[in-house]
Structure 1
Amino acid sequence: KFIELPWQEFDRKQISPTRDTRLRWMQSVIRCTHYVHGAGERQYLNEADAPEITYVPRADISEADKAYAGE
């Protein structure tokens, strides 16, 4: 189920947050309760930007080079 919202103008600043502001931006838009992060993300996430989130590490993929299941 979803809610239709009225059209609003937007600009690039609202769509593409930089990685160091992504968490703050995400919370201002969707107010998530959990964030599943990869090992690389953990290095730059600032938990102080959103202390109400539960941070969950993504499971490592063994043989990541073979994990792609495309056509």
Structure 2
Amino acid sequence: MATEMFHVTERLSRMTAWVSSLVARADHELCAEEDDRARRRGWTVTKTGFGARRYRDPRFDALKAARLAERTPVSTGARR
């Protein structure tokens, strides 16, 4: 009985690995061109789930920092 269970578990494990490899290949094939284009532009590419990506231009961080700097009062060093 234990031997049969081992073989079933082993077979299931191999099937799971095979399906996972197919999914990974399909994901790569479907998104490779867009990922490459984004990376050439200097964007970051983050896989967020099955077939999902987040593309981000890091220049948005610089814009946010500039906006925050405009709102932050600058100290002149003078005391009252």
Would you tell me which structure has more helix in proportion to its own residues?
2
User: Please, what TM-score do these two structures have when normalized by structure 1?
Assistant: 0.21
Q: Which has the higher contact order (CA 8 A, sep 6+)?
A: 1
Give 1 or 2 for the bigger CA radius of gyration.
2
User: Please, what TM-score do these two structures have when normalized by structure 2?
Assistant: 0.19
